Amino acid sequence: MSNKLRLSFTQIATTSLDALLLQAVQEVKKDWLRQIQALPTDEQVVLRANIEQKNVPECATTLLISKISVNGELTAYRSGDCKMVLYTHTNRKLKVMNTTLLSKNDSSNDRLFFRLVLNAQKELDIQHNTPKYEIVKQANVQSIIAFTDGIGLESESLLNKPRAESFTDLREEIVYHLQGTADDKAICFIQIKSGKE
């Protein structure tokens, strides 16, 4: 999914993140169907039998997609429980920007689901939903930390109330922070630097 989104950014002439996501979903569906249809017949028979017995293969993902200009204009798309902390720098100190991305949001807490099914012609097909989502726009963003729900509460608290003097110091502190959860985790650090830095 992430690779299709990356390609959509470069191939589609739109600034709409929801349009980019829709295009990426269609490309993923086409790729997966092509791979399923290339399976040996006996494997396709097993898949059909499983689906007919209500053992439906399914996968889901949360989404957090954003783009930021070098001028600090951010647009973010979120579906699920991932979070993003946006920072501006005031008097050389990190200042957290107050957005809905700081915490879970019931209006966008969802998942993108893909489900392998049999269509009306009894052919293998893939269904997907249109998840609830939110679009957030913010100006003057200088640094971003985006992360999955696997990041522990202690680390999340540190990101929301940084003690560090700089973004670099905060990144160093978080990188060596022991995570207590067994959940999968990902964290992404982005900073816009001027030519003098």
Q: Give residue 119's pLDDT.
A: 93
Higher pLDDT, residue 82 or 159: 82
pLDDT score recorded for residue 13: 57
Q: Which CATH class is domain 2-191?
A: alpha beta
Within a 13 Å sphere around the CA of 4, how many CA atoms are in the beta-carbon half?
16
What is the rounded CA–CA span in Å between residue 144 and residue 167? 9
pLDDT digits (tens, 9 = 90+) for 64-86: 999 899 999 999 999 999 999 99
Round to whole Å and give the CA distance between 32 and 69: 33
Does the pLDDT value for residue 197 go beyond 60? no
pTM over 0.85: no
With 70 as the cut, is the pLDDT of residue 40 above it? Answer: yes
